[in-house]
Structures are given as structure tokens and as C-alpha cells.
Structure 1
């Protein structure tokens, strides 16, 4: 794995009292090449004024590759790369159009043809999309580079024309549901008044009954589960899957030379289980437990697993629920319903920024508890202060989108928390607005290791005497 060491720099334009865990990461983790590429990246690096750019290093390589790769001449040099860019540019175009239409509907109170949908607003949206589109293109470049390096295969949804995302009826149903939800979400955001969840239960943690992102029903309905993927991919203009696939990099490195069939993996807070299908597609024989607290999201995860199994595994019996190679577990991250040291791999994606600080620390301890000695823990979540210099002064604003714990999260030194739980820091990967941190559990706990050394030193001293 290519690594680099970045010299910590004190960020500017942010309150001095804030801590920068992104810079602390430099001292604890091996740095994947993506970390340096994203550290100071901004939209003008790919879309410079006047069309000129003097970029060097990995970012310059990315810019040149993008300019060549998205043209017919460059793409035709490699048919697989051409298919990748065709699929992903189409994907982003769809979600960009959906975002524009959804915004117009939300601002016009539900009528796409109202006077508020003016050309001036469209021009503003297109101009404002320049930054996100630069993020998208560079993220796709990184994703394709990881594929070329053999970290994982091409996305199975891109390779499978029978995937339901290519079914016009399925797409229209999800798009229509998104439009209706976008209008309700924006109304709540403008009023700064989230709805309460319909289900009150002492069996659910208090924090879980917040309707994050102002979404209808929070995590507690089938409708919420069915619309989640469409909503988040629209927010990220189609790059969310590519960002999440950063998780596959440390998984690949850990699984090298090991038989996946002899291991066990756990995904904590898997949501709809879409990412779990990427894990299964790369390592079909790896037994995977898909966990979440919401039974509605677990039902959607089960549907996604069955869809993958039917299209990519040919119905072969892989164990687990219905032969999919997956089991499904309803459990909170802060109290995982599993024995100590029961999994070789434990990973979680986009959970920690939605946890209160005390619960976050408990979740760290639980992930460390259920992983075996010698095992791997991977956390993928939002960027933090210090990860991307261009966002340091603006990052906290995401907390306004009914994310009550986000501001605390972006200042939390995750490496330190996992070290305190007995794990050692391994590798950091940066993917646009997402970061991936991996950890290893020592085969001998640190306290035992120190005791062994002390006993050895004592015996040596006695022999000398």
C-alpha cells in the first residue's frame, strides 16, 4: 500500500479552542495516498479559472487522468475504464437532475411549475454544483484507482444489467417517493422543527428517537428505509457508494493470504445493507452478520442481500439466512448482542457522527470487545476537522441539519478512543467528505505484554546476580 507522511499544519479560520483530529491522525496512522490528495483539494483544482492548472503529484495525475478518461479518445483505450466512467457519469447526472427537481418542488410547496422555479435559480444551482461535481469526479478517479490496484472489483451494480436500479418502474417509484420526502424535509428544515417519531418505546435509546436529517419517521418505518439510499445518493450526487467503498481497502489488506470462509465479519449499524452487498460480492464465502437497531432497515438489508444473491451468486447456498451468506441481528452499537472475541472483522459506516459522545465511546469499546485478538476493526464516517483544510471553517454547519451530535463528533479524536479500548491504529484512507480508519486488535493485550516484559527483565536480572 502506498503511504505518505504529512507534516501537521495548524489550520486557520476556525476557533482556536477546536481540536483537529484529522491532524492527530497523521501521528497515529499509516497514510493512504488519498489522504494527501484530499487534504488541500478545492474545486478550482479541477476547474481552474482560464482552464489552466499547474497541479503536481497525485492530484495532478488525477486531473490529467480525468481530462483524458472522460473523453471518448481516452476512455476507449480501456473498455473497462470506459464502462466505469459511462456508468458513473450517468449516475451523477441522474442524481444531479433529481436534486434540482427536488429542490424546485420543495421550494414551490410541491408544484414543479410554480414561479419560484426560475432560470435565475437554475443558473445559481448549476454554478453552485461546480464544487460538488469536482468532489464527485475526483472520488470516482480514486475509486477506479483502487480497482486498478486490485483492492476490490468493479461495482457489481454497474456490472449487472438485471439490477433493479435499471428497472424504469423501480427508479420512478423511488424518485417519486424522494420528491415527496424532499418537500417535507425542506419544510421541517426551514421551520427548524423536526417531527417526532411515531413509535415511543422504552426499548429504544433516547438518541435513536431523533428524526435525523428531518426525515419522516426517523429510522422507524419501511418507507424511511426504502427512500434512504435515494436521498443520500442525491445529497452526494451519486458518490456515496464510492466513498463507502474506501472501507474495502483495509478489508482487502487484512484478507490477503487468509481464507474468508474461515472468518466471521460483523457490520455495525448496516442500515439498508447496500454496502454489505459490496463486501459479499468481493468475498462471497465470508460469513457476514448484518446488524442494525431498526427492524425496518434490517428488512431492507435482507431484501438487498437476496437481490445480490440471486443475481451474482446464482442462488448458490452460502449459509446464513436463505443461503445469502448473511445473518441479520437487531442490536444497538453500544451494546452489541454478541460474545467477546466472536468476529475477525468488525466495521461500521456512517454511524458515529449520529451518536452522543458517551454512546460513541461505548460503541468503540463494544467493537473492540467483540473482535478477536489479531482481528480488524474499520470505521468509515464523515470527515473531521483537519482532514480537509478547505472545510475547517464550514464543517460545523452540517450540524444544523438536525444532526445534534455532529459538532462534537468532528472534534473527537477517534484514534485515541480506539487506542484506549485496546486497539492499535493501522491505516487511514480519505474519500472526499468521508474518512476510513482501520485498527488491529493485538494478539496479546498491551497490559499482558508489559507484564511479560517485566517478568523477563526480572528473570534476566536474577540470572545476572
Structure 2
């Protein structure tokens, strides 16, 4: 009995040691990534100077200026929580730091080259340029927009390829760590379960960054991505190696009570108010009883009053026509009306995550 206990203690210590090394690796990657994308984002701002000029967006807020100390603490929390989850064995180190110098330089160069076009669109206030593109015909009107003033909207391969660089530059390399707050909640919920029995779909998977993380964390689970954009689905398939479905989240092509989990990252702030309850109800419909939604999106001013001014500025400088209504939405009530109750919550920097159970 004593020998067995000793062996268990040694095994536990070995596992903790292995995870500690993984956490150190994750911290190292985070430092490299943050430095790289902070520099790229800073250079883009220097080139475009979006707050200057006659055509710069007008922004006024009654909220107090953001404390740099509070902003830095919120920013660092994303990386600290990410490394802590790796140390706890919830998921492996994620390979999202710049690892191939030539490819990283090309990606950053492409982002910077496009930054001028994005800024020109911002200064014109042209958030619906993409509606002139034949590829956008037949899609919902609210979807046919240049969200973030990005070139091509959701409809081109260049947009899909460039999207992650834009997001990482915007958030100084913290985008992946922020998204993984939803992964953290799901991993804790699924801990100890046989992955081979689990089925999940990443709704609005975009270019596949979060689906890639899911596949790394749950390599034996049945995972798929779903999005409305063929271009983004192609990028997501390449990145994650998982199956894809092209569909509108308002009408999921899935059977009732068929999934153990749905994940949904950064979708709801880009939906009109009338559409959010429809999508919430569809997600609830396809979940099994006891199934969960791992949800992540922007923090709201009520979550971070000290960052309210920054949150209010976001839709002024990045075309986000539905963000204002999202900021005031009671998410617990929204999902509660669909039959989902909050079973867990987390946040880091500018992202909040909820685990909602059917």
C-alpha cells in the first residue's frame, strides 16, 4: 500500500514537472508574440495616424480616461491565465507565436501594406464597400459589411488569410490568450471524460484559430467548424484539419440534441439585436441536455467600468455597427431565455467567457 502511494506521488510530481515546463514554454511564446504584434500594431498606427485629420472618426465619451496601470494589468492577465491553464494540464502549449521568421515577416508586411487601405476606408466612413462585390450577393444584409473596415469583408481569401494578423496587431498579441478563456472553461468541464464520445461544433469559426486550439486540446473528440464564409472555411480547414460546414448560425444544419458542446467566439457583437435571440435558440436546440456552450466575446462596460472609455471608442474607429447594442445586452438573460444557464465564467483583458449549460 505504501509502495503504491509512493509511486502515485512520484507520478504526480513528474506530471506537475512536465506541465511546469509546458507553462514556461507558453510564457516564452507569449513574450515573443506580444513583442512582435505590439511592434506591428504600433507601426500601423504610426503609418496611418487614425486619430488625426479632418476625416478622423469623431469620438466623445463621459467615461474617465483609462488608467494605464489598469490596462496593463488587464492585458497581462490574459497571458498569466493562459500559462496557468497550461500548468494545470488543461491544454497543451499553443503554437501561435511567430515561429518561422520569413513567414512571420511576410504576414506582418502584408498586414502593414493593407493598413493604409483600411485607414482610407475608415476615413471615408465606408463600412459597406463589400456590397458592390458580386461574391457578397445572397448573404444577409447585416453580414455584407466591411467589419473593422477590413478589405474584402468576409468574402475573400486575402481577408481570411490576413484576419488573424489584424486581430493580433489590434490586441498586441493577446487575441489567442483571450479566446482561450472559453477553452479553459470547456476543458475544466470536460476534464476526465473520454474524448472519443464528445462532439462539438465551433459556430462562426472564422479563419479557424480557436478551432485549431480545440483540436490541440481535444485531439480525439469529434470537432467541426461552421461559418457563413467559404473563404474563411477554406482557411479554417487548412489550419485545423477538421471538417467544415457552410451555414448561417440562424439555421444550424444539425439535429436537435446532437452535440455535447458548441463553441462561439466573437460572433454576438457582430449580430443585430433581432438576430441574437435566434442564434442563441439555435445553439440551445442542437445541444444535448447537459451540453454546454463555451462562449467568448468582448467584455462589456459593466464588466470593466475602468475600461469603459476604450470600449466605447472601439466601434467609432473600427466599423462595428452592432457593438453598441451588444455592450448593453444582458447576456445571461439572452441565453437564459433560450434555456441555457450560466455554469462558469472568466475574463481576461478585453474578452469575457461564459460556460452555459442546457
TM bracket (short chain):
0.7 to 0.9
Is 1:243 equivalent to 2:159 in the alignment?
no
1:167 aligned partner: 100
Q: CA deviation at 1:417?
A: 1.3
Deviation of the 1:166 alpha carbon: 2.0
Q: Flag the 1:131–1:151 CA change in 2: closer, same or farther, 3 A.
A: same
- CA separation in 1, counterparts of 2:172 and 2:182? 20
SS of 2:263 mapped into structure 1:
strand
Q: Which residue is 1:234 aligned to?
A: 169
In 1: Cα distance, 2:69 partner to 2:41 partner: 14
1:298 aligns with 2:215: no
User: Which residue number in structure 2 is paired with residue 351 of structure 1?
Assistant: 267
Aligned CA distance change for structure 1 residues 174 and 132 (closer, same or farther; 3 Å): farther
Give the Å deviation of 1:330. Answer: 0.3
What SS class does the counterpart of residue 429 from structure 1 fall into? strand
Please state how far the C-alpha of 1:361 moved relative to its aligned partner: 1.1
Q: What is the TM-score when the length of structure 1 is the normalising length?
A: 0.65
2:29 counterpart (87, 100, 107): 87
Rounded to whole Å, the distance in 1 between the matches of 2:117 and 2:137 is 28
Residue pairs, 1:311-460, within 5 angstroms? 326-400=242-316, 401-441=318-358
Stretches of structure 1 lacking an aligned partner (at least 5 in a row): 1-77, 109-127, 159-164, 307-325, 442-465
Aligned twin of 2:84: 145
Residues 427, 82 of structure 1: alpha-carbon distance in 2 compared, 3 angstrom cutoff: closer
Distance 1:81 1:365, change over 3 A: closer
Equivalent in the alignment of 2:53: none
Deviating 4+ runs (over 6 angstroms): 128-131
Equivalent of residue 262 in structure 1, options 187, 197, 204? 197
Counterparts in 2 of 1:156 and 1:405: CA distance versus 1, 3 Å:
same
> Structure 1 residues 220 and 195, CA, compared in 2 at 3 Å: closer, same or farther?
same
For residues 252 and 440 of structure 1, the distance between their equivalents in structure 2, rounded to whole angstroms, comes to 14
CA gap 1:266/1:199 in 2 versus in 1, 3 angstroms: same
What is the rounded CA distance, in whole Å, between the counterparts of 2:207 and 2:333 in structure 1?
30
User: How much has 1:201 moved relative to structure 2?
Assistant: 4.9
Judge conservation of contact 1:266–1:291 (CA < 8 Å) in 2. yes
How far, CA to CA, are the matches of 1:91 and 1:138 in structure 2? 15
CA deviation after TM superposition for structure 1 residue 133, in Å: 4.6
Partner of 2:56: none
1:148 Cα shift? Answer: 2.3
Cα distance, 1:80 vs structure 2: 4.5
Aligned equivalents of 1:131, 1:106: Cα separation in 2: 27
Structure 2 equivalent of residue 103 of structure 1? 45
Task: Rate the CA distance shift 1:249–1:107 in 2: closer, same or farther, 3 A.
Answer: closer
User: How far did 1:136 drift?
Assistant: 3.0
Aligned to 1:7: none
Alignment partners' CA distance in 2, 1:393 and 1:232? 20
Cα distance in 2, alignment partners of residues 202 and 226 from structure 1: 21
Moved more, 235-244 or 385-394: 385-394
Residue equivalent to 1:193? 126
Paired residue secondary structure (1:220) = coil
1:251 CA displacement: 1.2
The 3-state SS of whatever aligns with 1:334 is coil
Question: Could you tell me how far 1:105 is from its partner in structure 2?
Answer: 2.5
Compared CA separation, residues 340 and 202, structure 1 to 2 (3 A)? farther
Q: Could you tell me how far apart the structure 1 residues matched to 2:26 and 2:299 are?
A: 26
Pairs aligned (count)? 320
User: Is this contact kept in 1: 2:315–2:323, CA < 8 A?
Assistant: yes
Normalised by the size of structure 2, how large is the TM-score?
A: 0.84
For 1:346 and 1:136, the matched residues in 2 are separated by 27
Give the 3 Å change call, closer, same or farther, for CA 231–201 of structure 1 in structure 2: closer
Greater alpha carbon shift after TM alignment, 271-280 vs 223-232: 271-280
